[in-house]
Amino acid sequence: MAETQPVPTDAQAAGVPTPANPAQTTEVAEAGEAAGPSKGELKRRAKEAEKAKKAAERAAREEEEKKKREAAAAQDNASQNYGKLPLHQSQERHGKLWEGFREWP
């Protein structure tokens, strides 16, 4: 008679060593390796998420301030002080009588 070999499990087929004692599997799960992220990892992720949130808020606030500055710069309160003004030329005579310089004795 031919000896039959047991069918390997998924973990065995993937090359993951299985412990001889089933009590060791619970220790691996309790260690946090297979159970999920550790407490420190969760804190790091929360801190990174908070950082990203603050960066997004800061970027939005800076964008809003930039729009306000651009709107304020576009509004010109002194436009009446410059622009196309009439020329002051000596060819125009307005009827004023100018006196010449006198020589001192």
- Give the type of residue at 40: G
Position 57 in a domain: yes
pLDDT of residue 4: 72
Residues 6+ apart with CB under 8 A from 38: 32
Position 62 in a domain: yes
Position 14 in a domain: no
- Residue 62's domain comprises 40-72
Position 10 in a domain: no
Position 44 in a domain: yes
The tokens of 48 are what?
Answer: 């990174």
Position 102 in a domain: no
Position 49 in a domain: yes
Half-sphere exposure of 23 (CA within 13 A, CB side): 0
Number of independent structural domains in the chain: 1
**Per-residue model confidence as pLDDT tens for the chain (105 residues):** 556 777 766 666 666 555 556 555 555 555 545 688 999 999 999 999 999 999 999 999 999 999 999 998 888 788 778 777 777 777 766 777 878 887 776
pLDDT of residue 45: 97
pLDDT of residue 30: 54
Position 95 in a domain: no
Half-sphere exposure of 54 (CA within 13 A, CB side): 6
